A = this chain, B = another copy of it.
């Protein structure tokens, strides 16, 4: 289990149970694919989404089996989207391992992702008591995929703004965080107010998380991040630091970015250098901090409980932003 959870023994234990349930649930006839997906589920991955979900369930009266099953469902859904994202982005690695698409081919990756999607719904349908969460789940998933398809409209678009980016990541990343928090609350029968606060906190944490990830793409080397920023640029996927730099350096950056698939490592270094000459990275950090603070503000409004969950949420959310401070 990731070191981020070491100070939270109960949560850590529950996340371990979540992993065990995922492993138990996954049964694919094609054993090579099964073991690759299992490796992906067990390796890396901080399990942030199930962690937030489990924490929000503490504000109600959670059922022990159900909360683990729903946490597993969320992490499997997340893994499904990663497997399909790696086809779309042509990523060769994921969490330091070869991506499923790279290792087994895109055809296997299509079905392996589909399989995990279905397992998600299966776990949900078998463990939830009401249709409400399933409706919420499918609404969120619809937003996520509509966001992904919407984002494709922006590929290679040098005129997209920071606002476009924020709207895209609201669908792409933040929706799943928001869903995790909301389901944690709803399925343990918290008040409506708490469920709505959970949703808002998740949204802000999710946006901050994606911005932090995109920031780190520019400041850490490939070995640490796993997914190279050059690939994104080649495919016309531009994240916040680059979009902010484009506001002042369009004329300099356009000829390099317009090389598209033909961009080289050297081109990527040049783009990175130009970004560093602007204040885009500082601004990116600031925006991530704003969303984090917004999340922390709502966390402060949560009620106190015996487990001091409020404090845990505060600490974890703060730790996420500290990766870039």
Contacts and interface: CB of A to CB of B under 8 A. Distances in A.
Interface string A124-147: 011010010011011101100111
A149 B118 contact: no
Contacts of A224: none
A285 interface: no
A194 to B, nearest CB: 23
B88 A152 contact: no
A33 interface: yes
How many interface residues does chain A have, given as a range?
35 or more
A28 B138 contact: no
A183 to B, nearest CB: 13
Contact of A131 (B88, B107, B114, B128): B128
Contacts of A27: 146
A108 interface: yes
Contact of A122 (B84, B138, B147, B148): B138
Interface of A: 27-30, 33, 84, 87-88, 106-108, 110-115, 117-119, 121-122, 125-126, 128, 131, 134-135, 137-139, 141-142, 145-150, 152-153
Given A84-B110, A88-B110, 7 more contacts: A29-B153, A110-B110, A111-B145, A118-B145, A122-B141, A128-B131, A131-B134
